[in-house]
């Protein structure tokens, strides 16, 4: 896939390893549950809102358990453009959730999920725009960006 190699979830693994190091704390995103990797990234109401925004628009229903979700990412769709977008979105969501969690832990600032979602969309769109320029030899209907625009306006 031209120019769009996805790092092999190195970042994700790094984040998850860090979370594991922590003594269980109250989740800074919802303040109602104890923090665990499964809770923080998937079960938390905040994180669920982030995921469901992306997955509902892509008409995908990934498994809700962390390890199953990572396995599912290997083959999430028959459309290779969608596979690419999903993997990129997955990393961006993990990153966005992790960053929001840290911001709340270290400052009094807390942003609603909708703001984090908009930020993730901007990052993804910019990335897909750059990568789509390398797909210029293809008809415009099959670039990453045009696929993105089909689902996210
Ligand atoms: Zn939570």
Domain that holds residue 106: 10-151
Ligand 1 center to 147 CA (angstroms): 32
| Residue 54 covered by a domain | yes
Ligand 1 center to 27 CA (angstroms): 5
| Residue 133 covered by a domain | yes
- State pLDDT tens for residues 63-74: 888 888 888 988
| Residue 83 covered by a domain | yes
Ligand 1 center to 139 CA (angstroms): 43
Token match 């962390």: residue?
66
Ligand 1 center to 40 CA (angstroms): 5
| Residue 128 covered by a domain | yes
Confidence (pTM): 0.83
Distance of CA 115 to the CA centre of its chain: 14
Residue 2: both structure tokens together:
């031209």
- Number of domains composing the chain: 1
- State pLDDT tens for residues 13-66: 677 777 766 666 899 999 999 988 889 998 999 999 999 999 999 989 888 888
**CA–CA gap between residue 120 and residue 75 (Å, rounded):** 22
End-to-end distance of the chain based on CA atoms, in angstroms? Answer: 24
- State pLDDT tens for residues 77-111: 998 889 999 989 998 999 999 999 999 988 989 99
| Residue 81 covered by a domain | yes
| Residue 4 covered by a domain | no
């Amino acid at each position: 896939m031209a120019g769009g190699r996805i790092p092999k979830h190195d970042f994700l693994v790094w984040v998850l390893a860090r979370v594991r190091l922590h003594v269980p704390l109250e989740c800074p995103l919802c303040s109602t549950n104890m923090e665990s990797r499964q809770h923080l990234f998937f079960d938390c109401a905040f994180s669920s809102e982030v995921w469901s925004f992306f997955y509902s628009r892509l008409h995908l229903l990934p498994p809700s358990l962390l390890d199953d979700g990572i396995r599912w990412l290997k083959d999430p769709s028959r459309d290779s453009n969608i596979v690419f977008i999903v993997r990129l979105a997955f990393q961006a969501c993990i990153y966005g959730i992790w960053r929001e969690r840290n911001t709340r832990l270290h400052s009094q600032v807390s942003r609603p999920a909708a703001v984090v979602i908009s930020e993730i969309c901007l990052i993804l769109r910019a990335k897909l725009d750059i990568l789509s320029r390398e797909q210029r030899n293809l008809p415009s209907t099959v670039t990453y960006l045009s696929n993105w625009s089909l689902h996210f306006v």
